[in-house]
Amino acid sequence: MKREAVFSKSQRPLGPRSLAPAANPDSVAVESPAAHNGETPARPVRFFQKRWRWDFIAVFLLGALISLLGVGFGQFFWPARAPLTQKDIDAAVLHTLQTKELPSASAKAAASVQGAVVLVQAYGLDPKNKDAEKETGVGTGVVIKDDGTILTNFHVISGAFKLKVTFFDGSQAQAQVVAVQPEKDLAVLKPQKIPDDLEPAILGSSQQLLPGDGVVAVGFPFGIGPSVSSGVVSGLNRQFRSQDGSQPLSGLIQFDAAANPGNSGGPLINMSGEVVGIVTAILNPTSARTFIGIGFATTIESAGAAVGLPPF
């Protein structure tokens, strides 16, 4: 007896239902029994699509609930900080002032210019031995340009045939005189070489000075230094004449910061660390040549004119 095939390989003729594409491959259609009787079949119910929509809503609500719980726990364990008030700031500053030792205004001013201060040594021939050199003067200078240009006093370098400058890092170099103004006791030097990290001083203005303003003098008194002394402006537009009467100076700043031989040519700076004058003389009615409380400095405006700097 011939066995009938379980799966027929022949193509069946397409009926009316075969012409319509499936609405959703994942949906399961429930066919009504009335379809076999020629009636219109019922619309397929997409169980998977409905179930997916409810799952999405449930996940969204669960996420929102977790977020709200997280915010609540965060506020409980880490409460919001109160806004910072001026009273809080004042209290913090007062606490710092009481517990921390801050540098003085004089120390900060001196630190801003100390790297530009140099020791200037003048040499002449030894009268007892013409082949030997002899130190004839010592003073201070201040670097005022990036190329190493140094401003100092004329009387420091006067009569010298050789000049040597020592920089803040201990390096030394010979220097040449490039300009002088004896009537203002000023001289401009140019060293043969300079340190790589040399920074010039910042020049200020003496026009803003008032008697009583704090000032600092930096230099090499008696070759010792760099040394720092502080004081105040004692007066403005002063006049000074050397003991021999050969060098009258005018328009000077009078100050009481300690200055001695060797400070000549050094910077007089304000509390902002700006050079406002060049120390040039001290007043002492005796022959001791020591400081008794009255020093004089040429204004930086006069000194700037000596090197061709623009007016302040």
Which residues belong to the active site? 155, 185, 264
| Angle (nearest 5°) at CA 188 between 185 and 189 | 130
Q: CA 250 to CA 237: how far, in whole Å?
A: 7
Is there a contact between 277 and 299 (Cβ–Cβ < 8 Å)?
A: yes
Pairing relationship of beta strands 214-219 and 162-166 according to DSSP bridges: unpaired
Q: Which two tokens stand for residue 224?
A: 């010792």
Is there a contact between 150 and 118 (Cβ–Cβ < 8 Å)?
A: yes
Q: CA 115 to CA 5: how far, in whole Å?
A: 108
Q: CA 45 to CA 27: how far, in whole Å?
A: 7
Is there a contact between 165 and 281 (Cβ–Cβ < 8 Å)?
A: no
Closest among 202, 306, 294, 216 to 252, alpha carbons compared = 294
Is there a contact between 189 and 163 (Cβ–Cβ < 8 Å)?
A: yes
Q: CA 251 to CA 206: how far, in whole Å?
A: 11
Q: Which two tokens stand for residue 189?
A: 């030097």
How far CA 118 is from CA of 32, 85, 215, 234, 259, in Å, comes to: 109, 48, 19, 26, 16
Is there a contact between 150 and 198 (Cβ–Cβ < 8 Å)?
A: no
Closest among 205, 301, 211 to 255, alpha carbons compared = 211
Rg (CA), the chain: 46
Sign (positive/negative) of CA torsion 102, 275, 226, 169? positive
